[in-house]
Amino acid sequence: MLNLSGKNALVTGIANNRSIAWGIAQQLHAAGANIGVTYLPDDKGRAEKKIAELVEPLQPSLFLPCNVQDEAQLQQTFDAIQDQWGRIDILIHCLAFASKDSLVGDFSSVSRQDFTLAMEVSAYSLVSLSRMAKPLMPEGGSILTLSYLGGVRVVPNYNTMGIAKAALEMNVRYLASEFGPQNIRVNAISAGPIRTLASSAIGGILDMIHHVEKFAPLRRTVTQLEVGNAAAFLCSDLASGITGQILYVDAGYETLGATISGEG
Ligand code: 0WE
C-alpha cells in the first residue's frame, strides 16, 4: 500500500490553489507525509500570507521563502531542514520561469538574457536543490520534477521553455545516474496542459486545452490531483525500482502521432 508516513517531503512551487505543486502537496499529505513548503517571496509579504493560508490544512512543519536565484535563501532552506528535520526523504521541484517575450512568436528571437533566465530558474534549480538535498538523504530518497511535452516536441509558443524542459529532463537522467548508488531516485512527471496561474498567463492556452479534450485518448485534460497521485506513487516505496524516468500524466496525449479524428 502507498504509505508515506514518517517521510519528510519538501514541496516547492506552490503559487496558489491551482498550482500542480498544491495538488502534489495535498496527495503527499493524504498519504501521510510530513510536509514542508517553500514559496517565492515578494516585497510586500503578500505571497507569504496567501500561501500560508492555503497550506494551513496540511500543517506544514517547515514554511520558508526560497527564491532559487538567491544562494543565501537556498542555504537557509537546507539549514532549516537540517535543524528541524535532520533528514529529507522527498524533494518536489515545481519551478519554472521564462519571460513573456520568450513565450511568444519566433523562437530564434530570444535574447541571451531571457534564454539564460529560463535555463537558470527552470532547469539549473533542480541541480542546485538536488545537490543540497543529497547529504540530507543518507538512507536514500526521492526527487521529483515537473516537465511538459514541449521539452521533447515542438509546441507553438512554448519556445524557450521547451529548451529548458529538454535540459531539465536530461538533468533528471544525469542526477539519477549520479545519485542512484545512494538509493536516491530522480524522476519527472510530464503533465498535460492544466489551467494554472502559469498557464493562464499564456495566450492560446484555452485552445491547447480544447485540443487535448478533443484528441487525447481520455478525451479530457488531467487534474492537479491526478498529477499528485502519480507523484505520491513515484515518491513511495512502491516505485523503489524506478529512477531516471519521465512519466506522462497527460490523458494519453503523448502517444498520438496525428491529431485528426479519422472519422472522415
Ligand atoms: O511550463 C509551462 C508554463 C511555464 C511558464 C509560464 C509562464 C507564464 C507567465 C514559465 N514562465 C512563464 N512566464 C510568465 O511570465 N507549461 C507547461 C504551461 C504552458 O505554457 C505554454 C504552453 C503550456 C501548456 C506556453 C506556450 C504554449 C503552451
118-130 confidence digits (pLDDT tens): 999 999 999 999 9
Please count the structural domains in the chain: 1
Grid cell in block for residue 51: 500561501
pLDDT bracket for residue 197 (50, 70, 90): confident
Q: Is the CB of 35 under 6 A from ligand 1?
A: no
Q: Is residue 246 in a domain?
A: yes
Cα torsion through 229, 73, 170, 189, rounded to 10: 10
Q: Is residue 2 in a domain?
A: no
Q: End-to-end CA distance of the chain, in Å? A: 46
Q: For residue 161, how far is its CA from the centre of ligand 1 (angstroms)?
A: 7
| Site to substitute for ligand 1 among 161, 190, 194, 212, most atoms within 8 A of C-beta | 161
Q: Is the pLDDT of residue 264 over 80?
A: no
Active site positions, annotated: 148, 158
| Site to substitute for ligand 1 among 40, 68, 97, 103, most atoms within 8 A of C-beta | 103
Which residue range(s) make up the domain with 64? 8-251
Q: Is residue 58 in a domain?
A: yes
Q: Is residue 261 in a domain?
A: no
Q: Is the pLDDT of residue 157 over 80?
A: yes
Q: For residue 222, how far is its CA from the centre of ligand 1 (angstroms)?
A: 16
Q: Is residue 75 in a domain?
A: yes
